[in-house]
Structure 1
């Protein structure tokens, strides 16, 4: 069998049709930080002449707010952000999540765990208590992904630059099926992005800490991981992460056109003053889109109109 080189893999990556996505959790109305992520991911996909998918991550029923998914979709539509194809709902993909979980267990890369959160040390990093078997007196609750056999993950982020992190650095062996039987985010997001053929994940920088763990899952399953682009965190004028409350959110406190202008400004793309409509601003941004203009660090957005 002919072996493929690293350059071959890089060539294959560039030959693939670009597929991006936006994947909000339906825990309430779409907030401004999510609008920035949606606009950034939409522009990147359109700039690459690719497809932009929308997936509602409703895999955690206790956190789902009734009607919020429909509200989020309506908000995206109002801002001119329409998906290429039907909206996906993560809850529908249980079977493929379960198949990936069984595969990791069969490979010895995941294991049942009898620990609860109160068993974790003060630093929150799981020490591998059940890695070689559940101790006497405990029963299996969750399933964790092994990180003790992993190598350091090297990532080139299109905005944040080069990142080097061991997948267990932040959490140790991490949960991929929760004690309540629900598939955890770190596994579900990998399985669903792979199934959709996503070639680049564009999302907020608040999720950058998950990337090494997700690349680890990709590698364990023998899948090619996507490229990464983490957009700046949106903060208020005091440097705090922008609240989701209506009184602080530009989506709720400003006209749509002003909210869109602020979103593009946060992405380093101040629209031309003559482009005043939503469609005009999006057209301008697409014509002038350049990821190198996106700031790395947090972007402060005033919470009152006129700021």
Structure 2
């Protein structure tokens, strides 16, 4: 399969490129700088610039591009970057795909989204048919997913992968927590009752490949594990596996001082289940948090 990818240099993208290449696929990367290799192609999504010839003939397009939501303090400028880095890339790809002759269009656009779509669900369980919630990330997800519409209207299968919290020691939810836990100065966030929709890295990669291959699946898909846990449960299990205490809870007010606007999202409860993947009989290698963390800390 010939796959064109945006966001290939990110936390998830680098691992997906490795996986797809190992599986025998040809992966071309979209970059904003001058290309360094023959499999890189320059584009400028902020100006909606993408050579249609780069997209023509690809069997699939994967878009993982977007500024990290937890990478920096949420100033007004960074909020805008979070939004535009997702909407501009998605819109540029979808419009370019739609403008191609039907024979040259990819069979599928797999576009990243996030469980932030659902907002704060409290203890309520949600699947893919739940409406968008409230809050900044929910608003971002709403316009982000809407930007795929031109490709969908052109008859291309569009999968909107609402990724949860992938577990890997080199990034995502886990990396910033490892040092505080090892030093014994970690604990639950706020009251710890908020639900965390985690997924192991292997299962996220497997699910992405699964969705590229399954021509009968389109629309939103929750990229999460089948058994979400609360922050308190996650904290206890991570501490147990690291053999460290986790008795210093971080009050909500301290998070607000440290993280600014992102603090509210860090305390959000999102109890999401993978309805589409479950009904499609997707096999999870790590269906429980214990095995997922063991893999994340050793692989």
* TM-score class normalised by the smaller sequence: under 0.3
TM (normalized to structure 2)?
Answer: 0.22
Q: Which has the larger radius of gyration?
A: 1
TM (normalized to structure 1)?
Answer: 0.21
If each structure's helix is expressed as a fraction of its own residues, which one has the higher value? 2
